[in-house]
């Protein structure tokens, strides 16, 4: 008689609370009202909105350390009815695997990857400055440009690491982690860390959703599926991706323009960062973000200005962008040729969508520094908090998980990954060309019919 009566909430009732002004989620059979937490959520508001009104245990486990559960208690509403009966076996096995890795301490053991990467970044920057300022050889200046390109690439991997977890294992690690973010992203590459986290967290939650994943929303330049020809709405950019005649023309040649566009893809990151930082959106640490980006443009502009001629400056900048373009190609190889879908991500299918929406790239251990951890894209999407030095070690366990549940564990060589990506782009390009031709014929017929009014 004295026992407190539990409040139970049905799945149907949970699903009714799925908008910004009324947002509930469920984690481990408990329902939480996180409406007032949206603006303060460190991962941004969009991941919460994408999973609103759903059972979200798997993505919560993937992105949050165990200490985050204490924060949820203040938002508790009730218990989800029939929770245990609705959990898929894949999710159960995934959660057991997360618990196993956590017990082994793999999420906390950071290794020396970031420290070595920072040392490599410092060496590349110093060598590039020396070659530009202390030598007169055109070839030396070209080499300096390539070094800066590799610097941007390695800085990107460190920023990626620090965006998913604290990379420092020493005192005041969160302060150090923030400094690493500002240094590696803003100061050395000119990309806002806040912009990156805002975009990348959504990509992880909505992996390969044509409507919700910003990493697949490149219309009018690229379309990985003919489903994008229907002018879908981007819930990230909050606009309709119009597939007009201009987009049709560009997409019909996308398999030819892919590599040239990747060579200058860094310009998009520069532009997106500045647009966000100067927008009216809430940007945590906006002042420091702006200062960091300004530091990049100051040192990079100065370095370019030290070159003796406009020809060498052009060659230097071209080398920077071309080398870092390899990183942008790697981003595309990981997902462009994998399964896509239309619609909101589903919390109960989150684990499955990470596996079938990702592609691994085979490489020897000594090349891991070059790929920055995303060669194990399946593992990284399942365990984004896992330091990249442990991804190779857990790959066999992930492969077994896939085999048990009849899911293909896609892992191919670099050249095969390129072939698949180009094949995907070419298939969509041919469909776009057919659509364009059909549209042209339709317009001609319409004009002929109405030629006399």
Low-confidence winner among 122-131, 267-276, 382-391, 436-445 (lowest mean pLDDT): 436-445
Query: 284 with 240, same domain?
Result: yes
Residue 5: predicted pLDDT: 60
Q: How far is CA 101 from the centre of its chain?
A: 23
- What pLDDT, on the 0 to 100 scale, is given for residue 451? 54
Classify residue 165: in a domain, yes or no: yes
Q: Look at residue 434 in the predicted model and tell me its pLDDT.
A: 84
In a domain, 210, yes or no: yes
Confidence at 437, pLDDT banded by 50, 70, 90: low
Mean pLDDT of all residues belonging to the chain: 91
Supply the pLDDT for residue 233: 93
Same structural domain, 50 and 133: no
Give the mean model confidence (pLDDT) for residues 54-83: 90
Longest CA–CA span in the chain (Å) reads: 88
d(CA 404, CA 417): 25
Total number of domains in the chain = 2
Residues 218 and 316 in one domain: yes
Would you say 263 and 322 are in contact if contact means Cβ atoms under 8 Å apart? yes
Q: What is the pLDDT of residue 322?
A: 96
Is the model's pLDDT at 445 over the cut of 60? no
Closest Cα to residue 25, out of 58, 3, 2?
Answer: 58
What is the reported pLDDT for 66?
86
Average pLDDT over residues 196-204: 95
Average pLDDT over residues 439-444: 47
- Domain with 27, as residue range(s), is 8-86
Mark whether 140 and 40 lie in a shared domain: no
Q: Is residue 375 part of a domain?
A: no
Distance CA 79, CA 77 (A): 7
CA–CA distance from 424 to each of 131, 216, 332, 432 (Å)?
Answer: 41, 13, 11, 12
Average pLDDT over residues 91-102: 95
Domain closes at, from 345, 364, 391: 345
- For residue 443, being part of any structural domain is answered with no
Residue 442's pLDDT band (cuts 50, 70, 90): very low
73 and 129 part of one domain: no
| Residue 72 vs residue 82, higher pLDDT | 72
CATH classification at residue 19:
3.10.120.10
How many other CB atoms are there within 10 angstroms of residue 111's CB atom?
13
Poorest-pLDDT segment among 40-54, 306-320, 406-420: 40-54
How long a stretch of residues is the chain? 453
Could you tell me if 52 and 124 lie in one domain?
no
Percent of the chain with pLDDT over 90: 81
Question: Which pLDDT score is estimated for 1?
Answer: 37
Residues 147, 70 within the same domain: no
With contact defined as beta carbons under 8 Å apart, do 337 and 186 qualify?
no
Domain presence at residue 155: yes
Mark which of 52, 86, 120 sits at the end of a domain.
Answer: 86
Helix ranges (H only) for 182-333 are: 188-189, 193-205, 245-251, 254-263, 266-277, 286-305, 310-333
Average pLDDT of the residues in 155-178: 86
Residue 78 and residue 21 share a domain: yes
Residue 97 CA neighbour count, 13 Å, CB half: 22
CA triple 115-119-124, angle to 5 deg: 145
pLDDT score of 439: 53
Placement of tokens 């420091």 in the chain:
288
In this prediction, residue 440 has a pLDDT band, given cuts at 50, 70 and 90, of: very low
Give the residue carrying structure tokens 């094949």.
423
* pTM, full prediction: 0.91
Question: To which H or E segment does residue 116 belong?
Answer: helix 113-134
Is residue 50 located within the same domain as residue 197?
no
Residue, of 230 and 140, whose pLDDT is higher: 140
- Read off the pLDDT band of 449 (50, 70, 90): low
**Are residues 134 and 204 part of one domain?**
yes
Look at residue 447 and tell me if it is in a domain: no
Residue 81: band (very low, low, confident or very high) from pLDDT cuts 50, 70, 90: confident
Residue finishing a domain among 285, 320, 345: 345
| 125: in domain | yes
**Which string of DSSP letters, residue by residue, matches 51-109?**
TTTSB-HHHHHHH--GGGHHHHGGGEEEEETTHHHH--HHHHHHHHHHHHHHHTTTTT-
Average pLDDT over residues 430-435: 88
Q: Report CA torsion sign: 48, 166, 355, 261.
A: positive
Please check whether residues 56 and 194 belong to one and the same domain: no
161 and 285 share a domain?
yes
Are 215 and 203 a contacting pair, CB within 8 Å?
A: yes
Residue 426: which of 196, 228, 225 has the closest Cα? 225
Nearest partner of 210 among 428, 434, 431, judged by Cα: 428
User: Is the residue at 22 inside a domain?
Assistant: yes
Q: What is the pLDDT of residue 173?
A: 79
């Amino acid at each position: 008689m004295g026992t407190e009566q539990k409040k139970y909430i049905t799945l149907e009732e949970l699903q009714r609370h799925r908008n910004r002004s009324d947002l509930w989620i469920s984690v481990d059979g408990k329902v939480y009202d996180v409406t007032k937490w949206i603006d303060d959520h460190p991962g941004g508001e969009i991941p919460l909105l994408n999973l609103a009104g759903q059972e979200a245990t798997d993505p919560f486990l993937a992105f949050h350390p165990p200490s985050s559960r204490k924060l949820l208690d203040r938002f508790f509403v009730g218990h989800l009815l029939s929770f245990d009966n609705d959990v898929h076996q894949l999710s159960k096995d995934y959660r057991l695997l997360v618990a196993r890795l956590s017990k082994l301490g793999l999420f906390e053991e950071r290794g020396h990857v970031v420290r070595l990467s920072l040392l490599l970044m410092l060496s590349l920057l110093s060598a590039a400055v020396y070659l530009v300022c202390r030598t007169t050889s055109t070839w030396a200046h070209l080499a300096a440009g390539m070094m800066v390109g590799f610097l941007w690439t390695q800085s990107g991997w460190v920023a990626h690491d620090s965006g998913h977890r604290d990379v420092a294992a020493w005192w005041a690690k969160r302060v150090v982690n923030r400094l690493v973010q500002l240094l590696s992203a803003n100061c050395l590459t000119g990309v806002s860390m806040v912009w990156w986290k805002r975009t990348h967290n959504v990509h992880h939650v909505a992996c390969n959703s044509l409507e919700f994943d910003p990493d697949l929303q490149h219309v009018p330049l690229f379309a990985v599926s003919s489903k994008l020809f229907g002018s879908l709405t981007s819930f990230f950019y909050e606009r309709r991706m119009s597939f007009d005649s201009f987009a049709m023309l560009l997409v019909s040649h996308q398999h030819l323009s892919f590599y040239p566009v990747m060579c200058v893809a860094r310009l998009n990151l520069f532009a997106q960062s500045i647009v966000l930082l100067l927008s009216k959106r809430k940007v945590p640490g906006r002042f420091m973000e702006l200062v960091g980006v300004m530091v990049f443009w100051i040192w990079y502009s100065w370095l370019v200005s030290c070159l003796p001629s406009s020809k060498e400056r052009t060659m230097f900048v071209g080398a920077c962008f071309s080398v870092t373009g390899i990183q942008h190609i790697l981003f595309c190889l990981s997902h462009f040729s994998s399964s896509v879908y239309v619609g909101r991500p589903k919390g109960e299918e989150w684990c499955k969508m990470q596996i079938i929406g990702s592609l691994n790239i085979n490489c020897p251990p000594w090349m891991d520094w070059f790929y920055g951890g995303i060669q194990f894209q399946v593992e990284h999407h399942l365990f984004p908090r896992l330091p990249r030095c442990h991804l190779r070690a857990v790959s066999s366990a992930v492969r077994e998980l896939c085999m048990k549940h009849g899911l293909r564990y896609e892992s191919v060589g670099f050249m095969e990954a390129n072939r698949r990506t180009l094949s995907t782009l070419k298939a969509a390009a041919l469909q776009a060309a057919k659509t364009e031709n059909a549209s042209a014929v339709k317009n001609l017929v319409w004009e002929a019919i109405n030629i006399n009014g």
